[in-house]
Amino acid sequence: MPSEPARSSDQTPSAAADLFAEPLDTPQMQSFAPLCSVFRRFLRSRDLKYTQERADVLDAIIARDGAFEAEELLLDLRQRGHDVSKATVYRTIRLLLDAGIITQSLFDAKQSHYELLYGREPRDCMVCMKTGRRIEFTSKELVELRDRICRELGWQPIGHRFQIFAIAPADERV
């Protein structure tokens, strides 16, 4: 499920609301707008263009399953024959973060990881702080807690992200 778009300091709440003008309970919103349309609207709100390079980066992210590093994405794009610069990849990742399409997850102190958020079911995970091993899980109780908190505060839940940082049992090997 999509998350509410993240706002940078120069984006007003009304500008973010314009990106998703459809009411949340309509069939159109429930089926989710194509990501390229969402990204185009976001870029337009910032007076930026939807370039072929940005489209290539978004397509490569959509094709991935799970978390990725910016450098992995760059190598993947180049292996597919796309002539995209490292700066373009990093700038596009920043824009996708600001648009609420991807999320940044820090699994270790060395490298940032990113994950497609918009239009996907929540992926809750546990990360071992010693090995970096990551396991995904689902929890009906977490969804119920999220929904209850939102209801109590008058918000409408759209999605969530939950990470547990822990130490895996010593007998588990990667």
Residues 2 and 83 in one domain: yes
pLDDT at 84 over 60: yes
Residues 140 and 115 in one domain: no
**Is the pLDDT higher at 5 or at 107?**
107
pLDDT at 92: 96
Look at residues 105, 126, 120, 164 and name the one whose alpha carbon lies nearest to residue 3: 120
Residues 98 and 84 in one domain: yes
Q: Is 113 helix (H, G, I), strand (E, B) or coil?
A: strand
**Is the pLDDT higher at 107 or at 117?**
117
pLDDT at 2: 41
pTM above threshold 0.85: no
Residues 115 and 126 in one domain: no
**Is the pLDDT higher at 150 or at 12?**
150
Mean predicted confidence (pLDDT) in 150-172 = 83
Residue 173 lies in a domain: no
Average pLDDT, the chain: 77
What does the alpha-carbon distance between residue 62 and residue 102 come to, in Å, rounded to a whole number?
Answer: 10
pLDDT at 8 over 80: no
For residue 129, the domain's CATH number is: 3.30.1490.190
Residue 136 lies in a domain: yes
Residue 92 lies in a domain: yes
Residue 174 lies in a domain: no
For residue 33, the domain's CATH number is: 1.10.10.10
pLDDT at 23 over 50: no
User: Position of tokens 């270790």?
Assistant: 108
Residues 92 and 151 in one domain: no
Q: H-helix or E-strand containing 116?
A: strand 112-116
Residue 42 lies in a domain: yes
Residue 16 lies in a domain: yes
Mean predicted confidence (pLDDT) in 109-138 = 78
Q: What is the 3-state secondary structure (H, E, C) of 123-156?
A: CEEEEECCCCCEEEECCHHHHHHHHHHHHHHCCC
Residues 75 and 116 in one domain: yes
The total of structural domains in the chain comes to 2
Residues 41 and 112 in one domain: yes
Residue 12 lies in a domain: yes
pLDDT at 33: 52
Mean predicted confidence (pLDDT) in 31-46 = 80
Domain that holds residue 16: 1-120
pLDDT at 105: 75
pLDDT at 58 over 70: yes
Residues 58 and 73 in one domain: yes
Write the DSSP assignment of 73-102 as a string of letters. HHHHHHHTT----HHHHHHHHHHHHHHTSE
What does the alpha-carbon distance between residue 115 and residue 101 come to, in Å, rounded to a whole number?
Answer: 9
Residues 73 and 4 in one domain: yes
Residue 3 near residue 161, CB atoms below 8 Å: yes
pLDDT at 156 over 70: yes
